[in-house]
Amino acid sequence: MREGRFSSAVSEIAQSQSQSVSFDRRLYRHDIAGSIAHASALASAGILTADEFEMIARGLREIENEIAAEKFVWDQSLEDVHMNIEMALTKRIGPAGAKLHTGRSRNDQVALDLRLYVREEIDQIVTRLRALQNALLLLAQKHYQVLMPGYTHLQRAQPIYFAHYLLAQLEAFERDHERLRDTRHRADVMPLGSGALAGSTIALNREAIAKALGFQRVTQNSIDAVSDRDFVADFLYSLAMIGIHLSRFSEDLILWSTSEFGFIEFSDAFATGSSLMPQKKNPDMAELTRGKSGRLIGNLVTLLTILKGLPSAYNRDLQEDKEALFDSVDTVRSALEVFSAMLPELTINRERMESSANDPQLLATDLAEYLVGKGVPFREAHAIVGKLAASGKQLNALSDEEFRAASNALEEDVHEVFDIRKALQRRSATGSPSPENIERQIARWRELLA
Ligand code: ARG
């Protein structure tokens, strides 16, 4: 590539700063698929003979097999995956190989490879996200009658079913799924034919290339096509949100696994010991997942920072998009796999959860709402119950006289308020944790995930 314009080789330190082949070799399958589709368009345009196309396609497939078998020798002096493959092809098949790059730049080539990569990885991550959602659903089904206290500000607030909590996680991961679907749609545009920034005098059938590679659309502006990494930013944001959801979920599980809560126990296969304290069992998988969400956010910020000051069209800074992208993909893939495998092995300590939920103070709001039912304005009811709660006594231990003294509206039937399961039955609006709603939600998810 330097033969024409340059009189000396690039310096060694410049080469090591410049090379990307140590990481972008990961794109080889996509690079080869793109080159075969491009070569086919060159043949249709009369630039390559049918024989030359055959030689190129066969040569590229052989190279692909060699790379897959780890027999391919990568050369850092050739900078990146694109040049490595093209040079290997020309070495293998001669002059026909030297025609492959006609009407193409590495700028549109790398944009294409990245889009193919993102599309494929989204599909992989969606599969793993679905597996996690299924694991959550199974857990919700298995423990759908288990009560627990629900918390706000980490203070016991109101009783819920454990299943309601699990279904809340399913909702968040479903939004992640939607985000990935949107991102896939935006990545699904074919940029080849944009050249360095201004297309090419050689008219290639871009629609045919798109069709061969399974793209829905072709890019409509060659400058934008080589500039655009929005789909990478969308993907990194989607991955960061998955990380944040996993992190918050982790935090709950870590807390609930403490002796103070004792609601759950991680299986030995997903816990680690202390090098010093023999009695300890640590929730490291959840902690690491919580920690790794930091990298996911960092990778998104890395890309946004690279993009913010760039002049239009391709600039070499864009090479820096890849390590952040690959790292986020690897991190999320493995976290999702760990969680899907870890959840079915959780021990749920039903007694502990239910005895914590069996706290009449958690029904203070229900008591206020009982008063509302008797015609007391809510603010007044709130104050009456607040005073009773502040008395230090358990609300269900108050005598009829004590209730009467607080308000005439607190009649004999007030004691019925303190049946937790009935209290949950009364929470019947869409989205609330009545047992009927939970069963309906479980059925809905079963259908959605089938
Ligand atoms: N390795 C480069 C990248 O990842 C490929 C494109 C290089 N283009 C160029 N004009 N040097 O972005």
319 lines ligand 1 (CB under 6 A): yes
Q: Is 356 one of the annotated active-site residues of the chain?
A: no
Q: Is 382 one of the annotated active-site residues of the chain?
A: no
pTM of the model: 0.95
Backbone angles phi, psi at 265, to 5 degrees: -135, 135
Distance 448 CA to ligand 1 centre (A): 42
111 lines ligand 1 (CB under 6 A): no
Residue 278 has pLDDT above 90, yes or no: no
Distance 85 CA to ligand 1 centre (A): 14
Please identify which of the residues 11, 22, 267, 274 carries the catalytic annotation: 274
The rounded distance, in Å, linking the Cα atoms of 301 and 295 is: 10
pLDDT digits (tens, 9 = 90+) for 353-384: 999 999 999 999 999 999 999 999 999 999 99
Say yes or no: domain 12-102 is CATH 3.90.1310.10: no
Tell me which of 81-90, 135-144, 327-336, 386-395 is least confident. 386-395
pLDDT over 70, % of the chain: 100
Range 301-317 average pLDDT: 97
- Report pLDDT for 405: 95
- DSSP states of 77-90: GG-SHHHHHHHHHH
Task: For residue 434, give the DSSP letter.
Answer: -
Residue 189's DSSP bridge partners are: 217
110 lines ligand 1 (CB under 6 A): yes
pLDDT digits (tens, 9 = 90+) for 192-213: 999 999 999 999 999 999 999 9
- Report pLDDT for 429: 97
Could you give the 3-state DSSP secondary structure of residue 282?
A: strand
Residue 156's DSSP bridge partners are: 151
Residue 323 has pLDDT above 90, yes or no: yes
Ligand 1 atom having least distance to the Cα of 81: 1
Range 330-350 average pLDDT: 98
The rounded distance, in Å, linking the Cα atoms of 412 and 399 is: 10
78 lines ligand 1 (CB under 6 A): no
Give the length of the chain.
450
Range 326-355 average pLDDT: 98
Q: How far is CA 136 from the centre of its chain?
A: 16
Residue 1 has pLDDT above 80, yes or no: no
- DSSP states of 105-161: -HHHHHHHHHHHHHHHHHHHHHHHHHHHHHHHHHHHHHTTT-EEEEEETTEEEEEEE
Backbone angles phi, psi at 141, to 5 degrees: -65, -40
Mutate-to-test residue for ligand 1 from 5, 107, 226, highest number of ligand atoms within 8 A of CB: 107
For the chain, the straight-line distance linking the first and the last C-alpha, in angstroms and rounded, comes to 52
Mutate-to-test residue for ligand 1 from 76, 226, 319, 321, highest number of ligand atoms within 8 A of CB: 319
- Report pLDDT for 4: 83
Mean pLDDT of the chain: 96
Long-range contacts, stretch 170-176, CB < 8 angstroms, 24+ apart: 170/133, 170/136, 170/137, 170/140, 170/445, 172/245, 173/129, 173/132, 173/133, 173/136, 173/242, 173/245, 174/133, 174/448, 175/241, 176/129, 176/238, 176/241, 176/242, 176/245
**Residue 54 binned pLDDT confidence (cut-offs 50, 70, 90):** very high
Note the CATH number of domain 107-201+216-355. 1.20.200.10
82 exposure class (CB count in 10 Å sphere: 0-12, 13-18, 19+):
buried
- Report pLDDT for 276: 84
Could you give the 3-state DSSP secondary structure of residue 388?
A: helix
Amino acid 442 reads I
Residue in this structure with the two tokens 């119950």, named with its chain if needed = 385
Please identify which of the residues 7, 153, 259, 275 carries the catalytic annotation: 153
176 lines ligand 1 (CB under 6 A): no
Tell me which of 199-203, 264-268, 276-280 is least confident. 276-280
pLDDT digits (tens, 9 = 90+) for 239-262: 999 999 999 999 999 999 999 999
Could you give the 3-state DSSP secondary structure of residue 189?
A: strand
Residue 328 has pLDDT above 80, yes or no: yes
Write down the H helix ranges in 188-278.
206-212, 222-227, 230-256
Range 324-342 average pLDDT: 98
Task: Return the closest-CA partner of residue 321 out of 114, 125, 181, 116.
Answer: 114
Domain 12-102 and domain 107-201+216-355 have a common topology: no
Q: Which of these CATH numbers, 2.40.37.10, 1.10.40.30, 3.40.630.30, 3.30.70.380, describes 360-418?
A: 1.10.40.30
- Report pLDDT for 440: 98
Distance 46 CA to ligand 1 centre (A): 28
pLDDT over 90, % of the chain: 94
The rounded distance, in Å, linking the Cα atoms of 188 and 186 is: 5
Task: Return the closest-CA partner of residue 195 out of 105, 313, 315.
Answer: 105
Residue 160's DSSP bridge partners are: 148
24 lines ligand 1 (CB under 6 A): yes
**Residue 274 binned pLDDT confidence (cut-offs 50, 70, 90):** confident
71 lines ligand 1 (CB under 6 A): no
The rounded distance, in Å, linking the Cα atoms of 158 and 357 is: 8
Hey, where are the domains in the chain?
Answer: 12-102, 107-201+216-355, 360-418
The rounded distance, in Å, linking the Cα atoms of 422 and 369 is: 14
Residue 443 has pLDDT above 90, yes or no: yes
**In which region does residue 298 sit, left (phi positive, over 0), alpha (psi from -120 to 50) or beta (all else)?**
alpha
282 exposure class (CB count in 10 Å sphere: 0-12, 13-18, 19+):
middle
Residue 148's DSSP bridge partners are: 160
- Report pLDDT for 5: 84
